Amino acid sequence: MFLDRDQFKPAAEMMLARDKTSIRVTITDQKACELGEAVYAWITADGKPVRIGTCGSSAGKRLLSYPGYINRSLAGHGGTTPKWEALKWLGLLTAHGMLTAVVHQPEPRLTAVGLIRPYLDVERQLIRRHRPLLNRSHR
């Protein structure tokens, strides 16, 4: 696995909907989805990250937002997900059957301004290391 299993906990699953032309996300661990200031990754069954991101408040809210953006783009209604990216999501789900979202909330670190949770730094390092297919920017 590309991400540390001891730190990243499975939280949700992404699959094709019955119509095979749209996607759906199901929460599998409510406690993991309640984490904020966290890093998440959508991974294949063999643990390869295809998208790495962060959430400021609720991981579950962020993970559940994916179908709306992707399905809107697939239906030709535009939005924040480009069509090429939505098609790649569809292709990955067709090839793999399912993607799993894993979530990690880093421990706070003492800095000059007080305790800070370094989730943005962790995201940046993971994106740089793994270069996920569906990250548009490689911070």
Cα–Cα distance for residue pair 87/7, rounded to 1 Å: 30
pLDDT tens digits along 31-50: 999 999 999 999 999 999 99
Residue 29: predicted pLDDT: 98
Binning pLDDT at 50, 70 and 90, where does residue 2 land? low
Answer yes or no: are the C-beta atoms of 49 and 43 closer than 8 Å. yes
**Neighbouring-strand partners of residue 115:** 110
3-state secondary structure of 89: helix
Average pLDDT over residues 51-70: 97
> Measuring CA to CA, which residue among 62, 75, 78 is closest to residue 25?
62
Residue 6: predicted pLDDT: 79
> Measuring CA to CA, which residue among 3, 8, 7, 19 is closest to residue 90?
19
Domains of the chain in start order, with CATH, are 9-130 (3.40.1440.40)
pLDDT over 80 at 138, yes or no: no
pTM of the model: 0.93
pLDDT tens digits along 91-119: 999 999 999 999 999 999 999 999 999 99
pLDDT over 90 at 79, yes or no: no
